[in-house]
Structures are given as C-alpha cells and as structure tokens.
C-alpha cells in the first residue's frame, strides 16, 4: 500500500526527469505525436454512449459552449483515488461556470471495490458525475484510440467538442482548464512552453539523478529547491525529496521545512501530508524512533485525517504508526482497527500485520 520513502523518491525522479511524462506510466504526448493517433488534440471527442451513469445527469452529447473534463480512473488504482480530492475541488470551483467534470470508470477487475459502492461511500467528497464503461468500449474509444495505457488520465474537451488536452490530472490540468474555460488555450503554444521548461529543467534533473545515486544530500536539497523555483506546481513532488535530504544533513532545517510544507504547500493536500508523516515513521526506513520528528508527523497525519474526514484507511494507518511510536499502544490499536474496518477489501490484508504488531506489543507489557 505504501512505498518506502526511497522508492517514492525514485518514482519522483523518474517522473520529473521528463516533465512531459505524467505520473504512474501515463504519458502526455506532444501535439505532433498525438496527431499520429486515431484520437488526439484537435479531434472531435467521441460521444459517451457506451457507459452506465452511476451519478449525476447523463451527458449524451458535448454541448456547444460547455467545457468537459473526463477523468479516466478505477477504484483499484491508488493514484486515481489519490487524485479524487483534487478533481472534486475542481468540480466545486467550476460546476456553475460551464465546466463539467465526469469521472469515467474503466478497466474493472474482480477484486476491486465496485464503482457504485465506492462512489456512494464518498458522498460529497466525490460530487461530480460518474459513468462506468460498458464492455471496454469507452476505454477503446478514448484511451486506446489516443494511445494512453495508464490511469489516471484526464482529457479536456473544449467548447467546440474537441479534445484540447490529454494528460495526468495532477500534472497541469488546473492551468489547462482555466485557460480553456477563458477561451485562451492554445495547444501549440502550451506545448512550446512545456518544452521550454523541459529544456531548462533537464540539466538540473541530470544533476539531481547523479546526486541521488551518490547520496549527496546537500546537492539534492539545493537542486530540488532550484527545480521547484522553475515551476512550483510541476516539481512539487520534489518537496518530499528535499525534506528527506535536509533530514540527512540538518534535522533542525528539516523540521522547519517540514512545518513550512504542512502549513503551506500541503495544508490542504491530504496525500502530501500523509507522505510527510509516513516518511518520518516508515518502519522500513530503518530510523530510530528517538531520531524521528514525531511532533511533525503527528501534526501532518492528524491534519490529513481531518481533510479526509477520517475515511481514508491508508492515512489512518499512518496516524496509528505515529501514535504507536509515541508510546500510546492502545490508541494505536484503536486507530489501526478502524483502518482495517474501513479499508477496501483488497487492502485489508496489507493493514493486518501492523494491527497484529500493536496487539503483540500490548500483550507483552
């Protein structure tokens, strides 16, 4: 369920090394590359006919003058679930402004939480329209046709019913939707701007990868800061890397930066807060409890739980570990029990070892 921080950092490096690549194996092609696909930027979007509508009014055609954002996802997809708060926030911001958010569930499997059950459990935290693919036809019409092979993938449809953008919902979607909504989006200009940023970032990313392989934490902290200065949003995932680097060279500076993150950049980002907390208490990282900034971890984990209304098992699991490390074993057991109880069926097994560990610790007292 959770990667070690080191693994997460490596994933971050892989993603930001070429910012055109969206997270979790989902590529945003260049305009020319997309032109080679059956469906690409500038093409008319296929009608959403082969879907079952689970929530919200049906969209039988893309109405002229309206903007549509299709978020292709699945309940079994961790990054998809992690992006839901962001998508829902966008829905709440634009729902009365001619921008329609539609979550399109695709690629189901036998072990996943049923889409309808998942959506109902989210309530107002997933208030936008939801449609489920029928026999893979919508996935073929959009994902396969446009050469996309990973989720989450977002597609923005402009006021003329044409595909304006294809990418990862956490990598540029906000900026694109704002520009499309205002009638200011130019796909070619956007692509040129993106490539210019890549050109500036590439040498720094090469240096960062070299520094990471050498475990040169001072350089990692410095280069990460420079990349975030280039584009704070695009390189926001490097904040955790910089925090980890500072932790290696100056615990006080790391603590100060961590507080800056959880009260600023990650203040409303439950997953970012969870990453900070888990990075501190991850038992696989090999850190001594005495060296952990448990106060920072507690603040981050509790805030993440509040943001998710205590309904995210993975985040409650993090808080339980923080509480356990602080010595409140009974409270840790209560929290971990709740995490197991509310976790999707496919995740319960991964949460049980921690619960058994906490119970064993209590019985040995």
Residue ranges of domains in the chain? 41-185, 192-363
Q: Is the distance from CB of 204 to CB of 223 less than 8 angstroms?
A: yes
> For residue 22, what are the β-bridge partners?
26
Tokens 């993150």 sit on residue: 261
Supply the pLDDT for residue 33.
53
Q: For residues 242 and 229, is the Cβ–Cβ distance under 8 A? A: no
Task: Identify the bridge partners of residue 11 per DSSP, sorted by sequence position.
Answer: none
Q: What is the pLDDT along the chain (365 residues), one digit of tens a residue?
A: 454 444 445 545 544 443 333 333 333 445 555 555 688 889 999 999 999 999 999 998 999 999 999 999 999 998 999 899 899 999 999 999 999 999 999 999 998 999 999 999 999 989 999 999 999 999 999 999 999 999 999 999 999 999 999 999 988 899 999 999 999 999 888 888 888 998 999 999 999 999 999 999 999 999 999 999 998 877 887 988 999 899 889 989 999 999 999 999 889 888 889 989 998 999 998 889 998 999 999 999 999 999 989 989 999 999 999 999 999 999 999 999 999 999 887 789 999 999 999 999 999 98
CATH fold for domain 41-185 = Glutaredoxin (3.40.30)
Q: Are 75 and 81 in contact (CB under 8 A)?
A: yes
E strand intervals along the chain = 21-22, 26-27, 51-55, 67-73, 99-105, 129-133, 153-157, 163-167
As beta bridge partners, residue 72 has 104, 153
How far CA 164 is from CA of 46, 81, 95, 188, 293, in Å, comes to 13, 24, 19, 10, 45
Output the pLDDT for position 172.
Answer: 85
Nearest to 153 by CA among 141, 138, 170: 170
Q: Tell me, which fold does domain 192-363 have in CATH? A: 1.25.40
* Nearest-angstrom CA–CA distance, 177 and 148: 20
Q: How far is the C-alpha of 154 from the C-alpha of 175, rounded, in Å?
A: 13
- What is the crossing angle of helices 313-325 and 270-281, to 10°? 40
Number of H helices, E strands in the chain: 15, 8
Distance CA 104, CA 98 (A): 19
State the virtual CA torsion across 202, 204, 208, 209 in degrees, nearest 10: 20
| Pair 91, 67: CB distance under 8 Å | no
Residue 152, preceding bond cis, omega within 30 degrees? yes
Tokens 């981050």 appear where?
Answer: 300
């Amino acid at each position: 369920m959770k990667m070690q921080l080191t693994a997460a950092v490596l994933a971050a490096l892989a993603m930001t090394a070429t910012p055109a690549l969206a997270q979790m194996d989902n590529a945003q092609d260049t305009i020319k590359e997309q032109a080679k696909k059956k469906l690409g930027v500038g093409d008319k979007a296929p009608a959403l006919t082969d879907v079952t509508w689970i929530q919200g009014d049906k969209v039988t055609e893309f109405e002229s003058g309206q903007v549509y954002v299709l978020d292709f996802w699945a309940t079994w997809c961790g990054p998809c679930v992690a992006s839901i708060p962001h998508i829902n926030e966008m829905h709440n911001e634009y729902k009365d402004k001619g921008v329609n958010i539609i979550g399109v569930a695709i690629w189901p499997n036998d072990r996943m939480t049923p889409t309808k059950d998942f959506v109902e459990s989210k309530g107002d935290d997933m208030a936008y329209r939801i449609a489920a693919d029928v026999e893979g036809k919508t996935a073929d019409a959009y994902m396969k046709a446009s050469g996309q092979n990973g989720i989450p993938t977002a597609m923005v449809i402009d006021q003329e019913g044409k595909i304006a953008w294809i990418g990862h919902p956490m990598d540029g979607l906000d900026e694109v939707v704002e520009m499309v909504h205002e009638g200011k989006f130019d796909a070619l200009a956007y692509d040129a701007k993106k490539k210019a940023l890549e050109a500036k970032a590439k040498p720094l990313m090469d240096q960062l990868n070299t520094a990471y392989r050498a475990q040169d934490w001072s350089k990692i902290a410095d280069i990460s800061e420079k990349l975030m200065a280039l584009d704070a949003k695009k390189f926001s995932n490097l904040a955790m890397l910089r925090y980890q680097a500072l932790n290696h060279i100056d615990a006080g500076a790391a603590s100060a930066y961590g507080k800056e993150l959880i009260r600023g950049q990650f203040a409303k980002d439950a997953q970012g807060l969870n990453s900070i907390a888990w990075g501190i208490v991850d038992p696989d990282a090999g850190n001594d409890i005495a060296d952990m900034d448990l106060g920072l971890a507690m603040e981050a984990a509790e805030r993440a739980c509040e943001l998710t209304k205590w309904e995210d098992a993975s985040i409650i699991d993090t808080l339980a570990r923080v509480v356990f490390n602080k010595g409140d074993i009974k409270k840790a057991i209560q929290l971990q029990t709740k995490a197991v109880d509310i976790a999707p069926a496919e995740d319960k097994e991964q949460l049980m070892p921690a619960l058994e560990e906490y119970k064993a610790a209590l019985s040995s007292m």
